[in-house]
Structure 1
Amino acid sequence: MPTPSPFAFEPNTAPIPANERAARIADPGFGRVFTDHMALIRWNEAKGWHDAKITARTALTVDPATAVLHYAQEIFEGLKAYRHDDGSVALFRPYDNARRFRDSARRMAMAELPEELFVGSIEALVKADADWFPAIDGGSLYLRPFMIASEVFLGVKPAAEYLYMVLASSAGSYWKGGVRPISLWVSHDYSRAAPGGTGAAKCGGNYATSLVAQSEAIRRGCDQVVFLDATERRWIEELGGMNIFFVFDDGSIQTPALTGTILPGITRDSILTLARDAGLTVREEPYSIDAWRADAASGRLVESFACGTAAVVTPIGAVNGPDYAFTIGTGGTGQTTQRFLDQLGAIQRGRASDRHGWIHPVA
């Protein structure tokens, strides 16, 4: 059931006119079209969480000494709201995002937001900006909850004040032109995360450090970068912003185990659950770059795909390294990859049975 909202509503006094909104959401792409409102909650040591509201989306005014600008205490999440065929609106596994948000906050020594407040903030924002759902095929509202250290203080310590916000963005396909097989560059020079680091937390620093490798991938003519482990530079971990799977000729699937250096993706977990439901053999085990190359060459590996909230499921067609290149299967979208893409999409949009209680109705 939807969570009762404790959020005060301060409507935007200058919302985007309906005709301009319609033009913006006709082909919104991803991450560039934002709605009229945002959610906001403040925290400090004296009051705890307070001043929860839905208010006009506007620019932030921050002091140059605001802690996040100097020590990068920041975390975020990403999830989507979907309009179903009957006109209702639902979220997909929001409490899993809420738990991961708390885990990230704990790792970054930040205040932990209660799960009910996290989900309630998203529900309230989606209700306020329901007119921003794009009617296009595959359209959704992408939600970006995030939290920053807002204390004005120059000192290396956990902040005493935090600001939590949620943005909503009208979204179409993550990939320009729709889902297609992507090419990867294997980074042998840069690592995404190391044991004992922040790899399992969804913090901005993980993504900032991936950008130099992602830029290299683009220069090499590839779509995305894939990282190896920081210790041996041998074991495949994840892409710059997505988990990765491997599909073999015996029908089994494999994905790297969660050892603390890999983000525990909610889409990743959903795919593992659906695979086990289907009776597939599932392995969460290390997989080396040497094995990836050899299995692709022999035909044992028939598919690879990446997954995450924004792109859902993305086929991987080709892999490139400093002195090698190989194609996975036919280089196209494999049957298992397509099956997971279709199955997840059908559940998220209310067109298939929800056996696991993943769908959370909003309105």
Structure 2
Amino acid sequence: MTQPLNSLGFPKPPQDTRVVVAMSGGVDSSVVAAQLAEEGYDVVGVTLQLYDHGAALAKKGACCAGRDIHDARRVAEEMGFPHYVLDYENTFREAVIDEFADSYLGGATPVPCIRCNERVKFRDLLETAKDLDADCMATGHYIQRKVGPRGPELHCAADAARDQSYFLFSTTPEQLSYLRFPLGHLPSKQATRELAARYGLSVADKPDSQDICFVPNGDYASVIKKLRPGAADPGEIVDQSGTVLGYHDGVIHYTVGQRRGLGIGGLDTPLYVVKLDPEARQVVVGPKDALATRVVSVKEINWLGDGAFEGSVREIAVKVRSTRPPRAAILRPTGPHTAEVELLTPEEGVSPGQACVFYEDGSSRILGGGWIAGGRG
């Protein structure tokens, strides 16, 4: 008689299935761990120490801080499963923080949470889970893993307001076969908190983290100045013809699409940042229509769709910012990991360093994505 699949997709009882849960100390990953423990799985909780405890303890609204490590450990004690803290400070600095600083200095607008998932959580931590003889690794991300005719597929969360697909596009097919996302099907964050209360978790009412974990209060510039002394060199604010309109205290204080804080008055037409030129130390500004981008060049593409990436032009939907809904586009591969994406309706504020995520048109499936290298109207 064939053993039926358990809730994680394995043909054996939960008690014979080991699952490593990546625990940040927040309510989402805590609920995942508690739920799996209650179902009888062999749960092992792992929390990553990503930076210095002293700095972390003084900061609110961030994940993976000293307080969060304490909260994760407490949940493990409450639910009766082992919990480990791994020191990943050096890995995190080299794989995420250094690139974040260098990208800003290069005039890009990086998304470090994607690199953290790609290079730390879903690479190094996933390998640690395998070393612990776990059958799979579970996280508290709001995204769905579904098994299709060709194997595991990545799909958007049931709750569009919580969907984290933009931050997980670089998950490889091999990683996806090992990962599980137990919260992706829930209708709302409130449903997660209700589960936390039902399990009696001490973190049930804990606020969500808001900032990038190593950027207190969203102040990117102060972090970059600390990491790269001398980075905030002053320069000129110019229009698209090169006329000097004002001066700035460092390119790192600006992002493409920004309107406020330019310090340029007396003009009839509002101006926006349309380009950053770090080498010339110039912030280039222009009217709103100068932000419109129709063709986006994309690099480092991770393909999750069916069939080979190259050789086919596809009608898809894409996100060029995490806060925007997917928009209709045409995907034209230009190499094994590069493409041009034509937006059927031009988007404003497309910025190098952001992600361009691919979705199957009319479906919840994520087809992969890559990093924006540039764009044109």
**TM-score (structure 1 length as normaliser):** 0.26
Relative contact order, CA 8 A, sep 6+: which one is greater? 1
Q: What TM-score results when the alignment is normalised by the length of structure 2? A: 0.25
Between structure 1 and structure 2, the one with the greater Rg is 2
